[in-house]
Amino acid sequence: MRFSRGLGLALGYWADRRWGDPVRRHPVAGFGMLATRVERAAYADSRARGTAYCAALVGGCAGLGVAAERVTRAHPVAHTAATAVATWAVLGGRSLEREALAVHDLLERDDLPGARQRLTHLVGRDTSELSADEVARAVVESVAENTSDAVTTPLWWGAVAGIPGLVGHRAANTLDAMVGHRIPRYLRFGWASARLDDVLGLPGARYGGLAVLLASPSTAGQAWRTWRRDARRHPSPNAGVVEAAFAGALGVRLGGTNRYGTRVEERAVLGDGVPVRPHHVPAATALARRVGVVAVAGAIVAVVRRDTRPQRARRA
């Protein structure tokens, strides 16, 4: 598999930037439909049942990834292609950017109702009464969090564990989005999915934070200070890292009141810059693009160094 994993990651990243998510028959959407059917059959208000549900689905995806690695291991071209397809399937940076800029375009045209509606493609909070600035804040927070979930963390696991890492992480992240909510139905059943996603996201979120520092050198100091000071205030151990780093790099304040139906969350303020305005949305997507470039470059370098280590040892 010498160099084929790194080349596959690069090609998959390029495909995501070029085309974004497939409009039809997206494998992640297919996994979501399967997970929904399994939930209907397996649901119980039980941590044990939810753990079995999570283990079966995430383990099944990771197992398919292991099979793909074994089948293509001796064929560099096939392994490169399989890694590229898996990488393209799990990344979501281009589609995230499109959705964020679509909301920004509606705000620029003073179509606040349209922006609120389009924002529901990015966030789970209630958007019906948000002001234009609150919509913009929600977009920037979503861009930051999902740059970790859909770009830096998958690339981390792709570099470390190849196809099983790519598809296993994406499965866990999808289940967290489906059943990891803090609502009565999923408090027990979704517990394992939420915790597994937190654990798998720990290294990738910090990798994403470091990528923010490298992607924005002129504000890296502020990003680092904000990360170190404010990330722990966020309810998520992973989203807090990238949101705080983005806040520092962009010179804005994130956090505040979020409504989820009848539930209200008061999020701690991250950063000490200016309040988010609509014009910060393109700046956030531009930063996310640079973070993706840094992340894929770092993943490729890590894979190449690992692949050349045995050769260097033999020479020694």
Backbone φ and ψ for 198, nearest 5 degrees, come out as -60, -45
Please, what is the Cα angle at 181 between 268 and 122, to 5 degrees? 70
Residue % of the chain over a pLDDT of 90: 86
pLDDT at residue 181, rounded to an integer = 84
Q: Write down the H helix ranges in the chain.
A: 4-19, 27-42, 47-72, 76-90, 93-108, 112-119, 132-147, 153-179, 191-215, 220-230, 239-250, 280-315
pLDDT at 157 over 90: yes
Mean pLDDT value across residues 43-50: 96
pLDDT confidence of residue 314: 55
pLDDT value of residue 282: 98
CA separation (Å) from 156 to 145, 153, 254, 299, 313?
Answer: 15, 5, 26, 6, 25
pTM of the model: 0.94
Please state the domain extents for the chain: 4-315
**pLDDT band at residue 310 using 50, 70 and 90 as cut-offs:** low
Alpha carbon distance 91, 103 (integer Å): 21
Q: In a 3-state reduction of DSSP, which class is residue 229?
A: helix
The band of 44, judged by pLDDT with boundaries at 50, 70 and 90, is very high
Q: pLDDT band at 153, cuts 50/70/90?
A: very high
| pLDDT at residue 36, rounded to an integer | 96
Which residue's entry shows tokens 């979503």?
142
| Lowest pLDDT segment from 146-160, 178-192, 271-285 | 178-192
Q: Could you tell me the pLDDT band of residue 264, with boundaries at 50, 70 and 90?
A: confident
Q: Which residues are bridge partners to 258 per DSSP?
A: 265
The answer to whether 163 touches 62, Cβ cutoff 8 Å, is: no
Spatial separation of the C-alpha atoms in residues 206 and 18, rounded to whole Å? 26
User: What percentage of the chain exceeds 70 in pLDDT?
Assistant: 97
DSSP 277: -
Inform me whether the pLDDT recorded for 241 exceeds 80.
Answer: yes
Q: What are phi and psi of 227, to 5 degrees?
A: -55, -50
Average pLDDT, the chain: 94
Q: How far is CA 277 from each of CA 61, 106, 108, 112, 129, rounded to the nearest angstrom? A: 40, 14, 11, 13, 16
pLDDT for position 139: 98
Please give the average per-residue pLDDT across 211-235, as a whole number: 97
Separation CA 310–CA 117 (nearest Å) = 54
pLDDT at residue 315 greater than cutoff 80: no
Residues found in the chain: 316
- Specify the pLDDT at position 313: 54
- What would the two tokens of residue 135 be? 């919509």
Half-sphere exposure of 180 (CA within 13 A, CB side): 17
User: What's the pLDDT score for residue 2?
Assistant: 63
- Mean pLDDT in residue range 132-147: 98
Query: 270 - beta bridge partners?
Result: 254
The stretch 266-278 carries a mean pLDDT of 95
